Homo-oligomer: A and B are copies of this chain.
Amino acid sequence: MAVETSGAGFVDLTGEVGKFIRDAGAKEGAVTLFIRHTSASLTIQENADPSVLADLTTALDRLAPESAGWTHDAEGPDDMPAHVKTMLTGTSLHVPVLNGELALGIWQAIYLIEHRSRPHRREIVLQFIGEAK
């Protein structure tokens, strides 16, 4: 699937992943997500209080600041921090499917994290492995 981001921040994919497993007739197994980019990533995080996502963005900015003197700066000051943030979070996710439902915890949601400042179109490969209904 493709996700249009509106610049740096979190995009909740939980609804679309749920639709994917229903459309696939998934019963027992796992769904995997793989993002085909190196400056956006995937994570599972709290879905309740938006201030958590704001603080996670702050944390990533502190761990990979634009002003760190990167040698790779041809694509703009936000590019190299985006690669570091992607390395620290990750490119794929694995979520169990039990009895036809995503087995997420009550406070968990599936997020794409856009690390670039400007909007991007991001491609994600979704796959279900397991037993169909």
Contact = CB atoms under 8 A, between A and B. Distances in A.
Interface string A47-86: 0010110111011001110001011101000001001101
B55 A83 contact: yes
Contacts of A86: 45
9 contacts: A32-B94, A36-B103, A38-B44, A43-B87, A52-B72, A54-B71, A55-B84, A59-B68, A91-B93
Interface string A89-131: 1111111101000011111100000000000000101010110
Nearest to A74: B49
Interface SS majority for chain A: mixed
A19 interface: no
Contacts of A80: 52, 55
9 closest A-B pairs by CB: A36-B105, A51-B72, A92-B94, A96-B125, A59-B84, A38-B46, A44-B91, A51-B71, A55-B70
A30 B84 contact: no
A31 to B, nearest CB: 11
Contact of A34 (B71, B91, B96): B96
A18 B84 CA distance: 25
